[in-house]
Structure 1
Amino acid sequence: MFPIRDHNPSGRTPYVTYMLLAANIGMFVSYVGLFDDARAINAFFNAYAILPARISTGDGFQTLVTSMFLHGGWMHLIGNMLFLWIFGDNVEDEMGHLPFLGFYLVTGIAAGLIHVVSAPYSLVPTVGASGAIAGVMGAYLLLFPRARVDIFLFLVVYVKIFPIPAWIMLAVWFGMQFMGGLGSDPQAGGVAYWAHAGGFIAGLILTAPLWLRLGGPTFWDRTHGRPPHPEAVYARSSIPKVRR
């Protein structure tokens, strides 16, 4: 089950979201050929990915930024860019272009530091924009909790797309990251669950001043947690349903 789009069109062109998408995709394409050479890709990640043990000794703090633009494979990249595409434009719309860029970078750095705290002696390189994008998702939850998000559900022979409120989808996602963090050993590598959960919480905290400036609970009362403009309407498929 994963989101494919929301019903929340942005009111202005999300230039920073487009720039971040282009930067992540362009960076991945620039080094994807290294995956054919294990020594080369390991050397590349050791230089630019987060190595918690290295940062714990006071070195390599620049990797908290460089790692945000690296990915471990095509599916890792596509998944992250899909989430950024869905949620980034609306948060940028509310924050403004430059504040959103600063917010994205700060939540990404915060997520990286939380990962280091969770696995201070790990020598496993950590890459991905997931922490920063988790921050964007936390901001989206605070600003548009009842915006509708279309979910693609695939259960072997059952395939369906249906809308649910954003807060349900985001709460389930955060719960999965939290439970995953409790059930994993961050020193051993794998998914950086605590970076995801930490980035999400950082996004909530950093968006709180904007939410309060908009009116806080009054903002929710005024918008009912929905987008402040008409929702997008998607045409139904013209493919007829064939009953059994």
Structure 2
Amino acid sequence: MFIPLHDANEFRNIKIQYVTLSLIAINVVAYLLTTVGTDDFVNAAVWGLGYIPSTIFDIAERPPEMVIVPDDWTFLTYSFLHGDIWHLGGNMLFLWVFGDNVEDALGHFRYLVFYLACAAAGALVHGLIVPDSEAPLIGASGAIAGIVAAYLILHPRVKIWVLALGRIPLRLPAWILLALWILFQFAMIFAGGDESISWAAHVGGIVAGAILVLILRRRNVPLADATVVTPKAVEVERPAQVEPQIRSPWGRQ
């Protein structure tokens, strides 16, 4: 639908968004480690770390040679794997633009808990929709969807620079862009969109993000913050004008 570029939304509680930066770095490193190698190595990583609903719901069993971590761990490990550079780049761009302000609103540790919980919620809803699926789910989209929902609740009026349709630069309020994005995810899960995309994982992340941001945000962080941070021209304060005083020869008047 659109490619986010910049939101001009300054921090209020933190100086550096080091959890967001660390998550981006981990995702990039995981992508390089799991995609650079033979096809057998790549497949082993995907099948060993991806989320497979049928193994979670005890319908099927992962072959022993494919087990890298316990099945329950894949609720999180799947979110650090990506199929190709475009899959990775899209998720990391959303994380870069929107994640830092959610981290600012929640605090570093609670933001990390929030991110992982949204990832796990995305996997859970995906599994509930297709419990017998033997295809591994990978990607950070569930966690990213939670961040988008949280950002919409926190900063609906902040204006965001985006590329609409991948080529048209626009600057629009977050509530228009992100609300449309969220509605699109719900529409796709009911309309049966592209089967290579887990719309259910997106919806699970959205619901989790919308709930958790209400619980985990800092006490001094309001909802639907109307403050729009944009660069402003510098105004030079003029010196106050002093009224001339006329002294009377007869003394003070």
TM-score by length of 2: 0.80
Asked if 1:205 is matched to 2:211, the reply is yes
Whether the 8 Å contact between 1:8 and 1:232 is mirrored in structure 2 is no
How much identity, in percent, do the aligned residues show? 37
Whether the 8 Å contact between 1:143 and 1:211 is mirrored in structure 2 is no
Report the equivalent of 1:166.
Answer: 174
Q: Which has the larger radius of gyration?
A: 2
Report the equivalent of 1:67.
Answer: 78
Q: How many residues align?
A: 219
Deviation at 1:6, TM superposition (A): 1.1
Deviation at 1:162, TM superposition (A): 1.3
Report the equivalent of 2:113.
Answer: 102
Q: In structure 2, what residue type is equivalent to 1:88?
A: G
Q: In structure 2, what residue type is equivalent to 1:27?
A: A
Higher helix fraction (1 or 2): 1
2:144 to 116, 133, 138: 133
2:191 to 164, 183, 191: 183
1:17 to 20, 28, 50: 20
Deviation at 1:232, TM superposition (A): 4.7
Whether the 8 Å contact between 2:149 and 2:182 is mirrored in structure 1 is no
Q: Root-mean-square deviation (CA), in Å?
A: 2.2
Deviation at 1:22, TM superposition (A): 0.4
- Aligned counterparts of 1:55 and 1:198: Cα–Cα separation in 2: 17
Deviation at 1:215, TM superposition (A): 7.3
- Aligned counterparts of 1:32 and 1:125: Cα–Cα separation in 2: 15
Q: How does 1:28-107 map to 2 (within 5 A)?
A: 28-34=31-37, 37=39, 39-57=40-58, 60-107=71-118
TM-score by length of 1: 0.82
Distance 1:62 1:71, change over 3 A: same
Report the equivalent of 1:231.
Answer: 230
Whether the 8 Å contact between 1:9 and 1:232 is mirrored in structure 2 is no
- Aligned counterparts of 1:116 and 1:211: Cα–Cα separation in 2: 28
- Aligned counterparts of 1:212 and 1:31: Cα–Cα separation in 2: 36
Q: In structure 1, what residue type is equivalent to 2:74?
A: T
Q: Aligned to 1:112, what secondary structure does the other structure show?
A: helix
| Alpha-carbon displacement from aligned partner over 1:65-99 (angstroms, at most 9, x marks no partner) | 11011001100000000000000100111111111
Asked if 1:119 is matched to 2:125, the reply is no
Q: In structure 2, what residue type is equivalent to 1:32?
A: T
Whether the 8 Å contact between 1:80 and 1:133 is mirrored in structure 2 is yes
- Aligned counterparts of 1:32 and 1:232: Cα–Cα separation in 2: 41
Distance 1:232 1:51, change over 3 A: farther
Q: Aligned to 1:152, what secondary structure does the other structure show?
A: strand
Unpaired segments of 5 or more residues in structure 2?
A: 60-69, 233-253
**4+ long deviations beyond 6 Å:** none
Unpaired segments of 5 or more residues in structure 1?
A: 234-244
Asked if 1:195 is matched to 2:201, the reply is yes
- Aligned counterparts of 2:231 and 2:146: Cα–Cα separation in 1: 24
